Amino acid sequence: MQNEETISDIRISQKPIVRWTLMFAGTVLVGIGILGIFLPLLPTTIFFLMAAWCYARSSRRFYDWLHHNKYFGKHLKSYREGKGITRSSKISTIVILWGGILYSIFVTNSPLIHMILLAIAIGVTIHIVMIPTHKEQ
């Protein structure tokens, strides 16, 4: 069921303290990644990638769960394989990003904060646009 690439990625530590620490860290990183779905300035994919690394060294079950999750597993897999992200993911990410940035600008009165937020939004938008677009199936 699993391909050779997935099997070669997994190197479970033999030390219980290392395994438990990595499993805990992976779970925290998944939580932060899920928050990143809803918070525009918090990246999502990088936290899922770091969680996958932790799980690959601590728990095959959690590693498989992360990569086969119905909400973000396919996105993580295509990003890891260098295929990129789907057009709809790009659009929704950019819309949510700009919505959060514009709201933040609206509720703050500092021109410096406005410039910083706009610079972040522009930078993240450029990054998202530069990621290869994976065709949806």
Question: Are both 31 and 60 inside the same structural domain?
Answer: yes
Q: Note whether 79 and 97 are same-domain residues.
A: no
Among 111, 27, 28, which residue's Cα sits nearest to residue 61? 27
- Give the total number of structural domains in the chain: 2
C-alpha distance across the termini of the chain, in Å: 20
Residues 17 and 58 in one domain: yes
Quote the pLDDT of residue 47.
83
Question: Token pair 């394989």 is at which residue?
Answer: 81
Q: Which domain holds residue 63?
A: 1-83
The residue from 83, 100, 122 where one domain ends is 83
3-state secondary structure of 86: strand
**Based on the domain organization, do 15 and 1 belong to the same domain?**
yes
Residues 51, 102 share a domain? no
End position of a domain, from candidates 66, 83, 100: 83
Q: What is the pLDDT of residue 134?
A: 78
Q: Tell me the H-state helices in 1-137.
A: 4-9, 16-38, 45-56, 60-68, 73-80, 87-107, 111-130
DSSP state of 1: -
Low-confidence ranges of the chain (pLDDT < 50): 1-7
Give residue 5's pLDDT: 43
The encoded tokens of residue 95 equal: 């819309």
pLDDT value for 40: 67
Query: Where among 42, 66, 83 does a domain terminate?
Result: 83
Considering the domain architecture, whether residues 66 and 133 belong to the same structural domain is answered as: no
